[in-house]
Amino acid sequence: MPPLSELFPTVYGRGLIPELKSFVHRPYLVVTMDDLWPLFRDAFDDGVAGPLFVRTLERDELDRIVAELPACGSVVGLGGGQALDVAKYVAWARRLPLFQVPTALSVNAAWGHRAAVRVGGIVRYVAWAIPEAVYIDFDVIRGAPADLNRSGVGDILCYHTGHWDWRMARDRGRVEARWPYDERLVAEAEVALGRVVDHADEIRGVTDAGLRALGESLRWGGAAFHNAGWNPRHIEGAEHFVFYNLEYLTGKPFIHGQAVCLGVILMSALQENRAEWIRSVIDRIGVPWRPEQMGVTGGQVEQALRTLPAYVERAGLWYTVASDRPVTEEFIARMRAWLGY
């Protein structure tokens, strides 16, 4: 069977950033974060149209920023998920070639066609960009906090809860007509999930082998939404809804995979779906999933659980365990005891 997926060109290596100035279209806009720019500025030359520092993901504000940009020939995304998503949005709005350089493997943003922006605080995946290439420099990635890289598994381990949600929706007759359950998509996702589980120790150690395994799984996952005809069912479920609601309620910025891993643990328990096992995988990799490690309280997490069905309804999200088994106070108390927050 041929692979179902067309994936973005991706290169693994070393010393990749100083090479960019030799081949990206000039002048080039570097979309990055202000704390990263001093670390990488010297790798670029006078072809820089200006660094664009990401300060917002709100679509209205991004449109205003795009309208005021200087003329440029290409866009370089340099940073974590937010920088890569804004780079994508700018490249799309200005119809420019895009080169993506993640500085951490914290999310699959480098490999997804659409940008995760916010409209009125609610996440929306909009725009379209296929990069010329994604450059994964082992030394650059290892320069990021280890926890950030380990957290990248969140966007892969979520298949565990996502697949349960899809099967449940099928069995209940609640699956969307345009997203009928597809065993082939689930099987492909299981390969990406298995690769991460099999490399848990290497990913914890942030070794080259661990980064390659994580990178290849994120590469598959990033393109999977488009490759499945904009079907998110095999790659995302209620665990992401927990994160979205937590972000909505607290207004705090989260490291995506940390909050998603917390969602995976909670929703796998609600699903009664090998919760102990997936928690042990997350702990073995070393993702800091505890509320206090994300700057929120256990009470805020519990509030996000209580209001989850209402959030899902309001945001127009699909049918998952979040809607099928509304969280009870008994479940909340059980989680508090099990997870100790």
- The distance of closest approach from Cβ of residue 82 to Zn ion in the complex, given in angstroms and rounded to an integer, is 13
**Binding residues for Zn ion restricted to 144-183, rule: CB under 5 A:** 155
Looking at the Cβ atoms of 129 and 156, the one nearer to Zn ion is 156
Tokens of 275: 């919760």
- The distance of closest approach from Cβ of residue 257 to Zn ion in the complex, given in angstroms and rounded to an integer, is 7
- The distance of closest approach from Cβ of residue 240 to Zn ion in the complex, given in angstroms and rounded to an integer, is 6
- The distance of closest approach from Cβ of residue 109 to Zn ion in the complex, given in angstroms and rounded to an integer, is 9
Looking at the Cβ atoms of 204 and 256, the one nearer to Zn ion is 256
| Contact status: 85 vs Zn ion (CB under 5 A) | no
**Binding residues for Zn ion restricted to 39-68, rule: CB under 5 A:** none
Q: Which residue is nearest to Zn ion (CB)?
A: 155
- The distance of closest approach from Cβ of residue 71 to Zn ion in the complex, given in angstroms and rounded to an integer, is 34
**Binding residues for Zn ion restricted to 205-244, rule: CB under 5 A:** none
Looking at the Cβ atoms of 74 and 100, the one nearer to Zn ion is 100
3, 87 contact by CB (below 8 A): no
Looking at the Cβ atoms of 30 and 282, the one nearer to Zn ion is 282
Between the CA of residue 9 and those of 100, 135, 235, 277, 279, what are the distances in Å? 10, 9, 21, 34, 33
What's the burial of 176, exposed, middle or buried (CB within 10 Å: 0-12/13-18/19+)?
exposed
**Binding residues for Zn ion restricted to 265-304, rule: CB under 5 A:** none
Looking at the Cβ atoms of 155 and 202, the one nearer to Zn ion is 155
242, 256 contact by CB (below 8 A): no
CA 223 vs. chain centroid, Å, equals 12
Looking at the Cβ atoms of 155 and 216, the one nearer to Zn ion is 155
Strands of the sheet containing 28-32, edge to edge, are: 10-13, 133-137, 98-102, 74-79, 28-32, 48-53
Q: Quick one: three-class SS letters along 8-51?
A: CCEEEECCCHHHHHHCCCCCEEEEECCCCHHHHHHHCCCCEEEE
What's the burial of 67, exposed, middle or buried (CB within 10 Å: 0-12/13-18/19+)?
exposed
- The distance of closest approach from Cβ of residue 118 to Zn ion in the complex, given in angstroms and rounded to an integer, is 14
Residues near Zn ion (CB under 5 A)? 155
